[in-house]
Amino acid sequence: MSSERAPAELLLHTPAKVNLFLEVLGKRPDGYHELQSLMLAVDLEDSLEFSRDDTGELSLTCDVPALSCGPENLVLRAAEALRRHTGVTHGARVHLCKRIPMQAGLGGGSSDAAATLIGLNRLWNLGLSSADLAAIGATVGSDVSFFFAAPAAWCTGRGEKTEATTMGRPLNLVLACPVQGLSTAEIFRHVRVSATPESGVEIRQALTAGDLDELGRRLFNRLQEPAEKLCPAIAQVRHALAGLGVAGCLMTGSGSSVFAVCRDRSEAMRVASSLGAVIPTVPLRYCAAAVSPAVIRGAD
């Protein structure tokens, strides 16, 4: 336990992520898929408010009625995993303000879980290291560990093994999310593993060098093809973004969100404001400019 005084309340803001590169190497004996991915945290954020509950109860509320606040929610799963790991019986009330679209490939649930581990570690004065929290997070969800290595990391295994990666410059992106969401499990059921997988070497080099045009050319996601078959709006959004002259565009994660890499902030703002007029028949639930780097941040 830490000797520092623990706060009674805490507010954290936690970012979304995009996959600049995602290759599927094959199915593992545990049922998951072996992956290689270059992930980037962006400043589209959820926020979580934590307060102590002296009864020992863990509870979650959310401003989005469609999101379940039951024990299957990754916030509560992370909290329970932290209690099991440490043996504490402390309680907490958590309120989630949800801004990251769900079923969109943006990692909102995993980001919320990571923020929960950080927040409760401070609220309960546990004194665990980031490495400890990342290891607990890996038991909750495959992408949770990334948010402890953010803003950029090369992720392997089922996504839980992370290697922090240097960004040569900040990136300006446009995020566009069709109305239709997608099930990650469903997309993986339809993915076809290549006998000659992409390596990701060139895009990692481009990110480190800050070479936006090379980065745009090297964007890759093995899940994009099956996702576009299940949700044609993804391809429509992607083609529309490409037609606006961006450095590159790609679906993130298992979809349905698409992002564009822009050369500067003004281009990102122009593309975000123009996209609706280019594809008026494709309704979007989110479209805006975003910036990376981003990390989990907060104040007492």
| Burial call 226-249: b when 16+ CB within 10 Å, e when fewer | bbbeebebbbbbbebbeebebbbb
Structural class in CATH, domain 171-292: alpha beta
Q: What are phi and psi of 255, to 5 degrees?
A: 80, 175
Distance CA 90, CA 96 (A): 19
Task: Kindly list the catalytic residues.
Answer: 17, 143
pLDDT of 6 over the 90 cut: no
pLDDT of residue 11: 97
Distance CA 258, CA 68 (A): 25
Report pLDDT digits (tens) over 44-85. 999 999 999 999 999 999 999 999 999 999 999 999 999 999
Domain with CATH 3.30.70.890 in the chain: 171-292
Mean pLDDT of 115-137: 97
Question: Whole-prediction pTM value?
Answer: 0.96
Domain with CATH 3.30.230.10 in the chain: 9-164
- Could you list the beta-strand ranges (E) of the chain: 9-27, 33-53, 58-62, 91-97, 152-156, 161-164, 171-178, 220-221, 248-251, 258-262, 284-292, 297-299
Cβ contact 258:176 at 8 Å: yes
Mean pLDDT of 264-269: 98
Which CATH architecture group holds 9-164?
2-Layer Sandwich (3.30)
